[in-house]
Amino acid sequence: MTETTAETIRIVEVGPRDGLQNETAIIPTATKVSLIERLADAGHCCIEATSFVSPKWIPQLADASEVFSAIEKRPGVRYQVLVPNLQGLERALAVGVREIAVFTAASEAFSQHNIHASIDQSIERFRPLLDRLQGTGVNVRGYVSTVLGCPYQGAVPVADVVRVASALQALGCYEISLGDTIGVGTPRQARALLCAVAEVVPMAQLAVHFHDTRGQALANVYACIEAGVRVVDASVAGLGGCPYAAGASGNLASEDLVYMLHGCGYRTGVDLDRLVQVGRWISTELHRENGAKLGRAWKP
């Protein structure tokens, strides 16, 4: 793949939301805002900024309105927020959000444990949101969790993932992110699942989101890129995981992903030196080890 013909992989940076929501100590609003702005300065074009969820469920993100309002918005950067219900949507719209994400699962057991509702009920809850957004120009992205395994029921049938992804597309989601929430998938599994979903949802509308719990995330991403996916979720410094899945800490680190993609000849628009510095900075701010292998090894 030559420089002139290199394809672009779009990275959705989920660190500020999916990454920070697991932190137990409340992070200052100014730190969250600085993280988002530094990620934009590093070249990220899609950043999941926060979630308008009830503070009762995730106290860390209680300052969602303040964070989103304080961000210095960069031209060409999309700032996505997670919205669980109509109340959250109204809060998001009040501060000028132009892209939201909705979240469901492919595992019935996980859905019940996570949001105390069935999968079908969770999808029905999204209908008022989509109706409210008619004519507003606000885009909606869909997340499907536990696509390769569930901490409660174990294996998840591929047909269930296909059904849920198809339902989100039918609702109006422009893109559906397939998430291996507990990091159990391996490359052949990941590729087969992606291809099965792509039979009913066009590949151009799919993204992948792998947790690195068992060290398989980069291999899974590469297998899915070879299969045709061109959007990948990742988290700076490997921040985050899933608060509802024991042992699932550790998103794929954005630094490691960008290093691999650039080494394979793909474009990302991300400045790797700057991104590594962001990862090191936020790791210091949070008093935690940098989860990115490149963050520990990189010498500009």
Among 46, 224, 242, 264, the active-site one is 242
Decide if 264 is catalytic. no
| SS3 assignment for the chain | CCCCCCCECEEEECHHHHHHHHCCCCCCHHHHHHHHHHHHHCCCCEEEEEECCCCCCCHHHCCHHHHHHHCCCCCCCEEEEECCCHHHHHHHHHCCCCEEEEEEECCHHHHHHHHCCCHHHHHHHHHHHHHHCCCCCCEEEEEEECCCCECCCECCCHHHHHHHHHHHHHHCCCEEEEEECCCCCCHHHHHHHHHHHHCCCCHHHEEEEEECCCCCHHHHHHHHHHHCCCEEEEEHHHCCCCCCCCCCCCECEHHHHHHHHHHCCCECCCCHHHHHHHHHHHHHHCCCCCCCHHHHHCCC
Catalytic positions: 242
